[in-house]
Amino acid sequence: MKVAVVGATGMVGEVMLKVLAERDFPISELLLVASERSIGKKLTYKDKEHTVIGLADAVAARPDIAIFSAGGGTSLEWAPKFAEVGTTVIDNSSAWRMDPTKKLVVPEINAHVLTSEDKIIANPNCSTIQMVMALDPLHKKYGMKRVIVSTYQSVSGTGVKAVEQMENEAAGVQGEMAYPYPIHRNALPHCDVFLENGYTKEEMKLAREPQKILDDRTFSVTATAVRIPTAGGHSESVNVEFYNDFDLSEVRKLLSETPGITVQDNPDTNTYPMPIYANGKDDVFVGRIRRDETQPNTLNMWVVSDNLRKGAATNAVQIAEYLVENNLV
C-alpha cells in the first residue's frame, strides 16, 4: 500500500503515524503531507526519516489511500483531486460527513456499507464516535427514542494552540489565546462556532451524525458541548430513552460483549471511566450505568474515550484496514 497522511505535522497527524505503526499497517511507501510552511520538515516513522511534501506532489504520487487530518477547507479542495487519480480518501474533518453521497463510518458499526466505489469516506466527529459505540448495541436491543448528551471535552480537540493556552495559564504565563476566555480552572459551554439556532456546530454534529451512522432517523439527539481543562480524552453524560424496557445487568453484558468497549462500572470500588485512564487507549469506556428514575425505559451512562485515538486517528486507520482486508482499494 502506498499511503499518504495529509496533515502529518498536526496533533492528529502525529497520533495517526503512531497508530499506523502500532497496528503494523501494510505500507510499502509512506507520503507525509502538510501545508506549504511544513514542506521539507523531517519526520520519523518506524525509525526511518521522511521528508514532508506538499499536496500537489502527493496527488502526483497517486497513493492508494490518503488519510486526511488537515481541516475542512483543505479536504474540500484536495480530497476530490486525490479521488480523481484513484486514491481512496479517509477524511477526518467535518467537510464530507453530512454529504448524502459520502459514507460516514465507524467500522465496528457500519463498515459493511463501504464499496470500492467510495473514494471519499468521512470519519465522524470524535464525540459522536464514542457515543454511537455505546449506543449501537443498546439501540439494536431496546430501540432508542431520544438521547440527551452533555460533553466534557478536552482542549486537545481544539488543537495544539488550545493545549498551549491551558499550559500557559496553569504556569501563569501570558500567551496566545485559542479560546475567548481562560480555560484553566474554567469550563466553556462553547465548542466550535454558534449557529442561528443557538447551538454550536459541535452540538449539531452530535445531533445529526448518529442518525446517519446508524441509518435511522427515528430517534433524536439533543446536545450541550462543554470544553474543560483536560489535556486529552472526552467524557459524555448520556441519557437515553428507549421504546422498550431493559435490565441493567443485561445492559452491562451487552456493552461488555461489544468489541471496542470496556465497561468500568463498580461504585463500591469507585470504578468508573476517566479521561486520565483512557489516554493513549483505543477502547471506549462506559460506566455509571444506572436507571433514570424520573421516567420509564430511560438509562444514564458515562462514556469516555481518547479523542485523538478512537475519536480520530484509530477510527480512520480501522477504516483503512477494512478497505485493505476486503480488497476495496
Task: Give catalytic residues, as residue numbers.
Answer: 126, 234
Q: Cα(179)–Cα(227) distance, rounded to whole angstroms?
A: 10
Is-contact 23 32, C-beta < 8 A? no
**Between β-strands 2-6 and 48-51, what pairing exists: parallel, antiparallel or unpaired?**
unpaired
Q: Could you tell me which of 74, 198, 215, 208 has the C-alpha nearest to residue 136?
A: 215
Burial (CB count within 10 angstroms: exposed 0-12, middle 13-18, buried 19+), residue 159: middle
Biggest CA pair distance of the chain: 60
Write out the three cell numbers for 69: 487530518
Question: CA-CA distances (angstroms) from residue 276 to 58, 178, 279?
Answer: 37, 22, 6
- 227 assigned binding-site residue: yes
Tell me how far apart the alpha carbons of residues 219 and 210 are, in angstroms, rounded to a whole number. 9
CA atoms within 13 A on the CB side of 107: 20
Residue 97 marked as a ligand binder = yes
Dist. CA 21–CA 181, nearest whole Å: 37
233 annotated among ligand-binding-site residues: no
Name the one residue in this structure whose C-alpha cell is 459514507: 103
Q: To which residue does cell 481543562 refer?
A: 229
157 is in an annotated binding site: yes
The CA R_g of the chain, rounded to the nearest whole Å, is 20
Q: Tell me if 38 is assigned to a ligand binding site.
A: yes
**Known binding-site residue numbers for substrate:** 153, 227
**Known binding-site residue numbers for NADP(+):** 9-12, 37-38, 156-157, 307
**Known binding-site residue numbers for phosphate:** 97
**Known binding-site residue numbers:** 9-12, 37-38, 97, 153, 156-157, 227, 307
